[in-house]
Amino acid sequence: MILFRKFRVLILMVFLVACTMHIMIDLLPKLEKRATGAESGDGGCQCAHHTGGESQGWGKQRARTAAEAGWPNKHTLRILQDFSNEPSSNLTSHSLEKITTAGDRADSFRRMKTSAGKADDHKPLMGDASGGRIVPSRAVSRLSRLFEHPLYKVELPPLTDDDTLFNVNNDIRFYPRATGNQGWHNEDGNEDEEEFSPTEEVTAESYPNWLRFHIGINRYELYSRHSPVLDALLKDLVTQRITSVAMKSGGTQLKLIMTFQNYGQALFKPMKQTREQETPPDFFYFSDFERHNAEIAAFHLDRILDFRRVPPVAGRLVNMTREIRDLTRDKKLWRTFFISPANNVCFYGECSYYCSTEHALCGKPDQIEGSLAAFLPDLNLAKRKTWRNPWRRSYHKRKKAEWEVDPDYCDEVKQTPPYDRGTRLLDIMDMTIFDFLMGNMDRHHYETFEKFGNDTFIIHLDNGRGFGKHSHDELSILVPLSQCCRMRKSTYLRLQLLAKEEYQLSSMMEESLLRDRLSPILIQPHLQAMDRRLRLVLVFIWKKLSTNTTKDCPHAALCIC
């Protein structure tokens, strides 16, 4: 009995010592900081805050409060973005997280504060914004002069709640102890905790750049012309530390979903062909490889044409060992890694067609190029509708599509919703010109945000089969423009501008692509091919405009709408 009592006393003493040590550990950082403040002349006042250190301190503080309520957790952040049109598009071949209900996701997202009004217009940064080369200074940059042209300064209509993708209460204020463990600003590995005044407001500028990109999407554009978020997001795609990798389900070729330290995600398309490899003339368009540099170049071309309908894409050099094999928990992907006879690290993954040792992706020795396309908001938060392209090809070796044999095919399209009203048909013509300039014959579907109905832009996704041939111009891509004879006036004026020597399309593309980490993205023959194709488009337009026109705009004439 005496031994039992002594044992209880011993247990109690151990418990008290542990509690005392725990309290001392909690108080020690605050005491040290107070002492440091006294030594620096602050007098230990915790109410004063320096302007330059507020956001950093908030970022570090929020990274240490993972269990706090009132802010979405890691999974909620990841489901805010997505790239494909599949209902289960956030699922990989080895899902590691439990899917929550759409209502919970939407409720978490409603707590986020959207930026008030449109972002201020800024001139594009011509420095090393995306980790690429330094381009010529602003004073001699023709690209910056292009973006300052009046055609690139047309104002959007005033935005209402119905015109923005996400409507969030602007009066909500965020405080560090309600933000959870996001670690958005703590990217340098500094884990020191700093105090933050509970009176400080958290603005939209404090969000990670991928989230700011999502919040800025509206009825008319994926991003604004001179958005500072765009350059910051491109830099994140190149510099953010990769934390997990998984294969994306579906598709004929291997694609990887990469998650970054700030919980952003991007679709990675690895390098399969070099810049100089041209598609053999006997290849069908649907049997060609997807090019990582085509995805990058398509984003820059889309921006120069002022469509702004391609999600941001940047090139990145990835270490296959440290940043793919060692990070993935996808066993199917991990098992496909091997060492080639040339002592290079290779893998091939799993997909419908081109995933085998014969089509393995090999590094030098373990470095591989690839394109990273920022995800769009998840379908559970921003539903998208997938549309079959009216001028979709047959994808058959002998059978032709209806539009290839019926010259009056467009008359039927014009009578079919959503092409019978609004600007959808004009958007198809924009996409036609976009595809012709880069030689893309693989535009089978396109997407729109469901919230905006039929009165919105179409998203130009999956551009990997562009820039395959520089010695051949596939004129059949222009059939929609030839059959419908309709074109947006702003597009026509910009094409004329880009045909001038001062703003030559190839020069604008070359300067824009210099900013990418993997520059050069396109070889000179591909740049010259774009100028040649642009001249062909303008010649076609001139011939159509030179015909006799009537008020009803007959089939033989071109309507500039």
Cα gap 467→290, rounded to integer Å: 10
Rounded to 5 degrees, φ, ψ at 369 are -80, 160
DSSP assignment, residue 113?
A: P
Residue 6 region, left (φ>0) first, then alpha (ψ -120 to 50), else beta? alpha
HSE of 462, CA atoms in CB hemisphere, 13 A: 16
Query: CA 293 from chain center: how many Å?
Result: 15
Q: Which of 442, 455, 473, 516 is the catalytic position?
A: 442
Residue 218 region, left (φ>0) first, then alpha (ψ -120 to 50), else beta? beta
Provide the pairing of β-strand 242-247 with 265-270.
unpaired
Nearest-Å Rg of the Cα atoms of the chain is 27
Under 8 Å CB-to-CB from 401, ≥6 apart: which residues?
Answer: 391, 392, 393, 394
45: how many CB neighbours lie within 10 A of its CB?
A: 10
239: how many CB neighbours lie within 10 A of its CB?
A: 15
Helix, strand or coil, per DSSP, at residue 311: coil
145: how many CB neighbours lie within 10 A of its CB?
A: 14
- Binding site for Mn(2+), by residue number, is 290, 462
Cα gap 258→105, rounded to integer Å: 21
Helix, strand, coil percentages in the chain from 3-state DSSP, rounded to 5: 40, 10, 50
Under 8 Å CB-to-CB from 374, ≥6 apart: which residues?
Answer: 81, 210, 213, 233, 237, 264, 266, 311, 312, 313
- Binding site for ATP, by residue number, is 253, 269, 290, 373-376, 447, 462
Q: Which residue has the tokens 């999956």?
A: 462
In single-letter form, the type of residue at position 32 comes to E
Q: Tokens in use for 435?
A: 């595809």
Cα gap 392→398, rounded to integer Å: 15
Cα gap 213→314, rounded to integer Å: 15
442 is catalytic: yes
Q: Tokens in use for 276?
A: 């100089």
- Binding site, by residue number, is 253, 269, 290, 373-376, 447, 462
Catalytic site residues? 442
